[in-house]
Chains A and B, each alone.
Chain A
Amino acid sequence: MTIEMLGARILSPYFGGSLSVWGSIITIFMLALACGYLIGGRLSMNKPNPVTYAMFFIAAAAFSLPIILFADAIMEPIFLWIDDPRYGSLFASIFMYFIPTSILGMISPYSVRLLVETQEHSGQMAGQLFFVSTIGSAAGTLGTSFYFVLWFEVNQILWGSVIALIASGCCVLLVNYLLNGSKSSNRVSAYEKQS
C-alpha cells in the first residue's frame, strides 16, 4: 500500500494528477494482486516450504528496485509513445508496478498453506492472516499519506519498503534455519503485514 500511495506521486510529473491516474494505479494493483493470488495458490501445491516463501519477499524487493532506479527511463518513452495520459499512466503502472505487486500477492495464499495444519483451522488461520495483512495495508496507507511524505523523499520511502521486504525475507530464512527446517511456519504470519 505504501508503494500504491506513492504510485500516483511518481506518475504525476508525466501523466498529471487527474482522477484517471489514480484509476490506472488502483486497476493495475488489483489485477496484479489477483494474478499473484492465483499463482501463489498454485505454487503452494508444490512442496510448500519457507525458503520459497522467503524468496517471495526478496523477489518483490528486487522487482521494486526499477521503480526507484529507472522510473524516468520507463515513463519517458511511454509518455512519448502515448498521447492520452489515461492510457499512458495505465501502461506506466503495468511496467512499474505489476510484477512486484503480483509477487506480493503470492504471499497471502502461500502463507495460508504454510500456516494451516488442519482443515478445521483453515478458516480461522486465513481470517487471521487477512486481518494482519489488511491492518498492515492500512498502516502503510496512513503512514505514507499522513507522515512519510512530509518527512522523506519518495525514493527514501521506497528504499524503506525494499529494506523491510528484504528484512522480512531474511527473518523467515533465519527462523526456518533456527528451527532446523522443521515445522517452522508459526511465526511467518508476523511478516506478512509488510506487503
Chain B
Amino acid sequence: MKSNRNSFTALITLSLIMLSQLSSSFAETLHEERSLYRDITVTEIGNRRCLLFNVHRGDRNQTCIYTDDLDRLVFDYTRMSFAGLLLAPNPQRILIIGLGGGTLPLAFNDLFPTAEIDVLEIDQAVVNVAEEYFYFEENDQMKVTVEDGRVFIKRAGMRNQKFDYIVLDAFSGDYIPEHMLTEEFLEEVKSIMTDDGVLVANTFSTSRLYDHESVTYQRVFGEFFNFKLPTSGNRIIIAQLDTLPPRGELVTEAQSMAVKLEKFGVPLLEYPRRLSTRVDWDMSRRILTDQFSPGNLLQEN
C-alpha cells in the first residue's frame, strides 16, 4: 500500500517536472483580446515575447522582443527599417505609421533622443498592449496618435508639416488598408517630406500586389531602392525626393553609423549592397489609384 502511494507521488512529481519543461518550450499566452480591427494575442516562449494579430488565421508575428535584451530587434523587417538612415543619417522629425509592439519607435527614440517622433496607430487596443507588454511609453519627444494614417498625413500636409524620416509599416496583418497603397496617397506623403527626407515602406514581396505597388511607387518617386534580404519575406521600399545617392556614399554612411546600431542587432554594413534599383517587376501592371485599388483581392492571386 505504502509503496503504491510512493510511486503515485513519484508519478505526480515526474509529470509536474515534465509539464514545467513543456511550458518553457511552448508558447504561453499572456493576453488575448478582440479589438475593433483584429484579434490580438500576446505570447511568450522562453525569453521571446510576441504580439500576434489574427492568430487563428495563421498570421505571422507582428512584433517580438527578447525580454532579457529589450534593445535587440528580433525581426529582419524591423532592422531593415533602419536602412533609410543610409540616406538620411540624422532625422529630427520622424513619422511612423503603424505601432505594432512599438519596438521601432523606441529604438528611434533611443538613437535620436532630440528627434520628435509621431507614431500613428489606428487601433487603440494595439497602443494599450504595446504599453502593457512591450515596454512602450510615450514621452515628450515621442507621441502616439490613434488615427488613420492617411487622414493624419492629409492634415499634416495642410498644416505644412514636414518629416525627414517616414516609416510606413501599416501593411502587416491580413487586411490591407487599400487607401494607403495609391498614387494619390503617395503624393500626399511626398508633400510632407523634407527635401532630403526619406520614406521607408515595409511592403509586399510576393503576390501580384508586388508589381502593382512597384509601378505605383515608381510613378510617384521615380527610381527607388528596393531592399530585400534572403532571410526575410519582406520587401522594403526606400524612396527620396532627391535622386538616390551612389552606392559609395551608402557604404561610407554605413561605416560611420554601424556602431550606433550594433546594440539593436542591425547589421547596417551588410545593407548597402542589398539596396537595388533593378526593376524586377512587371512594368505593364496598372498603377494603384484611389479609383483602382483592390489590394486585398490582388494579394490572394
Give the interface of A toward B (CB within 8 A).
Answer: 9, 12-19, 79-80, 85, 146, 149-150, 152-156
**With known contacts A85-B147, A149-B297, A13–B185 Cβ distance under 8 A:** yes
Query: Complex formed: what's the CA distance from A149 to B179 in Å?
Result: 13
Query: Complex formed: what's the CA distance from A94 to B122 in Å?
Result: 24
Contact present for A16 and B151 (CB under 8 Å): yes
**B33 close to chain A: CB less than 8 A:** no
The secondary structure that dominates the B interface is loop
Min distance, Cβ A82 to any Cβ of chain B, angstroms: 11
Contact present for A153 and B291 (CB under 8 Å): yes
Which residues 242-301 in B have Cβ within 8 Å of A in the complex? 289-294, 297-298
Contact present for A85 and B148 (CB under 8 Å): yes
Min distance, Cβ A6 to any Cβ of chain B, angstroms: 10
With A15-B151, A150-B297 already in contact, 17 other A-B pairs whose C-beta atoms are closer than 8 Å: A12-B178, A12-B290, A13-B150, A13-B179, A16-B122, A16-B148, A16-B150, A16-B179, A17-B122, A17-B179, A19-B37, A79-B154, A85-B147, A85-B151, A150-B294, A153-B292, A154-B292
Chain A CB within 10 Å — which of B147, B158, B177, B294 has the most? B294
Enumerate chain A residues within 8 angstroms of B36, measured Cβ to Cβ.
18-19
Query: Complex formed: what's the CA distance from A85 to B292 in Å?
Result: 23
**B71 close to chain A: CB less than 8 A:** no
Enumerate chain A residues within 8 angstroms of B122, measured Cβ to Cβ.
16-18
The secondary structure that dominates the A interface is helix
Query: Complex formed: what's the CA distance from A179 to B96 in Å?
Result: 66
Give the interface of B toward A (CB within 8 A).
Answer: 36-37, 122, 147-151, 154, 158, 177-179, 182, 184-185, 289-294, 297-298
Min distance, Cβ B173 to any Cβ of chain A, angstroms: 13
Enumerate chain A residues within 8 angstroms of B293, measured Cβ to Cβ.
9, 149
Min distance, Cβ A75 to any Cβ of chain B, angstroms: 11
Contact present for A18 and B148 (CB under 8 Å): yes
Chain A CB within 10 Å — which of B148, B149, B178 has the most? B148
Query: Complex formed: what's the CA distance from A16 to B147 in Å?
Result: 8
Chain B CB within 10 Å — which of A17, A80, A154, A156 has the most? A17
**With known contacts A9-B178, A12-B178, A17–B292 Cβ distance under 8 A:** no
Query: Complex formed: what's the CA distance from A176 to B292 in Å?
Result: 39
Nearest opposing residue in chain A for B176, CB measure: A17
Query: Complex formed: what's the CA distance from A13 to B177 in Å?
Result: 11
Contact present for A154 and B291 (CB under 8 Å): yes
Query: Complex formed: what's the CA distance from A129 to B178 in Å?
Result: 36
Query: Complex formed: what's the CA distance from A152 to B286 in Å?
Result: 11
User: Could you list 9 A-B pairs, sorted by A, with CB under 8 Å?
Assistant: A9-B178, A9-B290, A13-B185, A16-B148, A16-B149, A17-B122, A85-B147, A149-B297, A153-B291
Give 9 closest A-B pairs by Cβ, nearest first: A16-B148, A153-B291, A12-B179, A16-B151, A149-B294, A150-B294, A154-B291, A153-B292, A17-B177
Enumerate chain A residues within 8 angstroms of B148, measured Cβ to Cβ.
15-18, 85
Query: Complex formed: what's the CA distance from A172 to B137 in Å?
Result: 64
**With known contacts A15-B151, A18-B122, A155–B178 Cβ distance under 8 A:** no
Query: Complex formed: what's the CA distance from A150 to B177 in Å?
Result: 16
Enumerate chain A residues within 8 angstroms of B147, measured Cβ to Cβ.
16, 85
Query: Complex formed: what's the CA distance from A17 to B185 in Å?
Result: 13
Enumerate chain A residues within 8 angstroms of B185, measured Cβ to Cβ.
13
Query: Complex formed: what's the CA distance from A149 to B185 in Å?
Result: 18
Contact present for B184 and A13 (CB under 8 Å): yes
Query: Complex formed: what's the CA distance from A12 to B293 in Å?
Result: 11
Query: Complex formed: what's the CA distance from A155 to B290 in Å?
Result: 10
Min distance, Cβ A101 to any Cβ of chain B, angstroms: 22
Enumerate chain A residues within 8 angstroms of B297, measured Cβ to Cβ.
146, 149-150
Query: Complex formed: what's the CA distance from A20 to B153 in Å?
Result: 18
Contact present for A14 and B151 (CB under 8 Å): yes
Query: Complex formed: what's the CA distance from A152 to B37 in Å?
Result: 27
Nearest opposing residue in chain B for A10, CB measure: B290
Enumerate chain A residues within 8 angstroms of B289, measured Cβ to Cβ.
153
Enumerate chain A residues within 8 angstroms of B179, measured Cβ to Cβ.
9, 12-13, 16-17
